[in-house]
Amino acid sequence: MTAPGLERLSLNTATTKRWTLPEAVAGCVEAGIGGIGLWRDRVAETGVRRAARLVRDAGLTVTTLCRGGFLTATGPRERAAALADNRRAIEEAAELGTGTLVLVVGGLPEGSRDLPGARTAVQDAIAELAPYAAELGVRLAVEPLHPMFCADRAVVSTLGQALDLAEGFPVEQVGVVVDSYHVWWDPQLAEQIARAGERIAAYQVCDWVTPLPADTLLGRGHVGDGHIDVRALTEAVDTAGYTGWIEVEIFNQAIWDTPGARTLRTVVERHLAHVAPR
C-alpha cells in the first residue's frame, strides 16, 4: 500500500488541520502514506475506539499521539488535573495502538519567573507518569520546543536538556522527540543526536521560513521552503540508529487553507526530494 520511497513517511494530522480524522485517514491511503500521527482533539471528535478501528482498518500505523504534557503547574489541584489528563492521554495512546505519546512539557506557571522550579516540576511529573505509561506499553516522548516557546509552552528547550531528563528513566519508558523546527539551530545538535541513540522515539520534520509570521506558532513551512538542511538532519538521526517513522508536522495558516489532498501531494514530493534516501 505504501508507495516506493515513502516507507517511513507519516502524516501528522496537524498539517491538514481542517480534515476530520476519517478524511485524514482516507487522504493518507490515497496518497500512499502508511503512517499517521494523531492529535487528541481530532481523536476525541471521532471517539477513541472508533478512531482506533478506522485507522487499523485502513492499514495505517499510528506513529504518535500528540500530545500530553503541560506539567509545570505547582498548585496541588492544577497538578493533579494535569496528571489525570496525562493518564487519559496514555490510555488513549494505548487504545490507538501507538507506543509513543508526545509530551510538550509546559511553560512557566502564570506569574512565575522560576524556570529551574518549572523544570523540576516536569521531572517530578514524568516520574509519576512513566511507570503507568510503561504498563500500558506507551513510551513518553519529551519534545524540546524551540527556545522562543520557553515562557509559554515548554521549559525544555534543547535536545541535550530533554536527554538529561529522559536519561533519569529506563529507555523504554521515556524517550525524546527530534523535530527539525525546534532543534535545527542548536550548536550542539550533532553531538546530542548521536547521544540520543535509541532514546529517539519520534522524528518530525518541517522547515524554518523567514520572516516569522505574526503568530510565531504558525511559522513552519514545507520541507525545502526554508533554512533547514533536513537531509543532513535526517542522516544524523539515522546514523544515531533511528529507523522509525518520519512525521511531517506543519503549522501554517496558508497550508491549512490549501485542500488537504494538494498538501499531501506536496508533502510526498518534498519527502522524496529532501528526506528519502537518494
Verify binding: residue 278, a copy of itself, rule CB under 8 A.
no
Q: Cα(54)–Cα(48) distance, rounded to whole angstroms?
A: 10
Verify binding: residue 27, a copy of itself, rule CB under 8 A.
no
Q: Which stretch binds a copy of itself (CB under 8 A): 33-41, 60-68, 72-80, 153-161?
A: 153-161
Verify binding: residue 83, a copy of itself, rule CB under 8 A.
no
Mutual angle of helices 260-270 and 21-31, in 10-degree steps: 40
Interface residue with a copy of itself among 229, 239, 259, 269 (CB under 8 A) is: 229
Verify binding: residue 151, a copy of itself, rule CB under 8 A.
yes
Q: Cα(131)–Cα(149) distance, rounded to whole angstroms?
A: 28
Q: What is the DSSP string of 159-209?
A: HHHHHHHHTTS-TTTEEEEEEHHHHTT-TTHHHHHHHHGGGEEEEEE-EE-
Angle at 52 between CA 65 and CA 79, to 5 degrees: 40
Interface residue with a copy of itself among 17, 79, 119, 270 (CB under 8 A) is: 119
Q: Cα(108)–Cα(113) distance, rounded to whole angstroms?
A: 7
Verify binding: residue 244, a copy of itself, rule CB under 8 A.
no
Provide the minimum distance between the beta carbon of 147 and a copy of itself in the complex, in angstroms, as a whole number. Answer: 4
Q: Cα(97)–Cα(60) distance, rounded to whole angstroms?
A: 11
Query: Between residue 46 and residue 75, which ones bind a copy of itself under the rule CB under 8 A?
Result: none
Verify binding: residue 115, a copy of itself, rule CB under 8 A.
yes
Mutual angle of helices 21-31 and 48-57, in 10-degree steps: 10
Verify binding: residue 191, a copy of itself, rule CB under 8 A.
no
Which residues form the interface with a copy of itself (CB under 8 A)?
108, 113-115, 119, 146-148, 150-152, 156-158, 160-161, 164, 184-188, 208, 210-214, 216, 226-229, 232
